[in-house]
Amino acid sequence: MASDADIAVKDDDGGLAADWSTAGGQPQADASPVAATGERILNQDEIDSLLGFASGEESDSSRNGVRAIINSSLVSYERLPMLEVVFDRVVRLMTTSLRNFTSDNVEVSLDSISSIRFGDYLNSIPLPAIIAVIRAQQLDNFGLMTVDSSLIYSVVDVLLGGRRGAPPMRVEGRPYTTIERMLVTRMVEVMLTDTGQAFAPLTPVNFVLDRIETNPRFAAIAQPANAAILIKLRIDMEDRGGRVEMLLPYATLEPIRKLLLQQFMGEKFGRDNIWEGHLASELWRTKVEVSAVLDELTVPLSKVLNLKVGETLVLNTTPGSDIELRCGAAQLTHGRVGRINQNVAVRVEQPLQTSARVAVMKAGEVS
């Protein structure tokens, strides 16, 4: 009599034989791909979707998978709260300065502060434009300030006496003239002065104009993959105006990074002056034990155990020898032993060592 297992095997064999006979000796083509272990195998479209390389035109915001993680890690950097405060001051200072510079009603607004890769920014600059390469002297590095064509023609029109209400005339397809470049250069210098004044409460930084470029390829101040901070400013002069963009690489801001991480001006990251003063005063009143070591002997333990009252230990020290002053295990200095009235005294012959000062402070904290 056949067992249940044998019947199950026969049924499986019959099912397999039916599948083979239906497909003409080959497995069915429409069967789902399943591995021998029962795991499903991904096809090429599913693999591309998982990695974020699916076919078709996609924007950076619609990417997903591994590719989205890689791209986001390249442009996602820590937020610098104090930099936003600095450029809020830039907006206020620049509004006043440009009103005096153009003798017109100028409104400056901060559009955004974002992180971007340097190479991506150079490729995104709308041409024609004037690119000012600026140098932060105290930070010993460079930055960029880009003035778009709308603002260039607006500033030239205002400074040369153009009528209000009429849009500035643009001549596309030609390079900027010397007069246009010089007028924009003067405006850039005014804005750089305001930027330096905005950084002054945080740290002294002088931004100076290094050169003027019209081709982004000649304004390369960092590697294409380097991260940078992009600040976009909008300048409106009644019915005309344009945009100014300032790019500061993270390498430029690295020397003052800790200052820019502050939440407010003058933040000391938990430092308390009152507590520091109290701790210093208590340390000065702390008592430490100082030992005067005449000499050190190495004797067998058996001799030490057999010491009796009246025995004498001979030291290798004369009345004129230097003795060592110690605080715990730390050596402080050397001195001469003497006598004042009925007291034994030690006169310090050498200054206190720097390492000994640290050891004494630690001993005082422990006690």
Domains by residue range for the chain, with CATH: 44-76 (no CATH), 81-168+175-260 (3.40.1550.10), 274-366 (2.30.330.10)
pLDDT above 80: residue 96: yes
Is 247 within 8 Å of 229 (Cβ atoms)?
yes
Rounded average pLDDT over 61-66: 55
pLDDT above 80: residue 72: no
pLDDT above 60: residue 212: yes
pLDDT above 70: residue 364: no
Which of the residue ranges 95-104, 169-178, 336-345 would you say has the lowest mean pLDDT?
169-178
pLDDT of 361: 55
d(C-alpha 367, C-alpha 285), whole Å: 11
d(C-alpha 252, C-alpha 129), whole Å: 23
- How far, in whole angstroms, is CA 206 from its chain's centroid? 21
Is 303 within 8 Å of 311 (Cβ atoms)?
no
pLDDT above 80: residue 213: yes
Question: In which band, very low, low, confident or very high, does the pLDDT at 35 lie, cut at 50, 70 and 90?
Answer: very low
pLDDT of 350: 80
Question: In which band, very low, low, confident or very high, does the pLDDT at 269 lie, cut at 50, 70 and 90?
Answer: very low
Residue 143 exposed, middle or buried by CB count within 10 Å (0-12, 13-18, 19+): buried
pLDDT above 60: residue 363: no
d(C-alpha 209, C-alpha 134), whole Å: 5
Question: In which band, very low, low, confident or very high, does the pLDDT at 24 lie, cut at 50, 70 and 90?
Answer: very low
More confident residue, 248 or 166: 248
Rounded average pLDDT over 225-240: 88
d(C-alpha 109, C-alpha 95), whole Å: 9
pLDDT of 271: 59
Q: Could you tell me what percent of the chain has a pLDDT over 70?
A: 72
pLDDT above 70: residue 75: no
d(C-alpha 271, C-alpha 213), whole Å: 46
pLDDT above 90: residue 354: no
pLDDT above 70: residue 32: no
Question: In which band, very low, low, confident or very high, does the pLDDT at 244 lie, cut at 50, 70 and 90?
Answer: very high
Q: Can you give the three-state secondary structure of 29-58, one letter per residue?
A: CCCCCECCCCCECCCHHHHHHHHCCCCCCC
d(C-alpha 264, C-alpha 5), whole Å: 78
Q: How close are the terminal C-alpha atoms of the chain, in Å?
A: 92
Outline where the chain has alpha helix (H): 4-22, 44-51, 65-75, 81-102, 118-124, 149-159, 178-199, 250-253, 257-260, 273-284, 301-305, 354-366
More confident residue, 189 or 361: 189
Question: In which band, very low, low, confident or very high, does the pLDDT at 108 lie, cut at 50, 70 and 90?
Answer: very high
d(C-alpha 198, C-alpha 204), whole Å: 9
pLDDT above 60: residue 4: no
Rounded average pLDDT over 54-66: 52
DSSP class per residue in 219-269 = G--S-TT-EEEEEEEEEEETTEEEEEEEEEEHHHHGGGHHHHT-SSTT--T
More confident residue, 13 or 305: 305
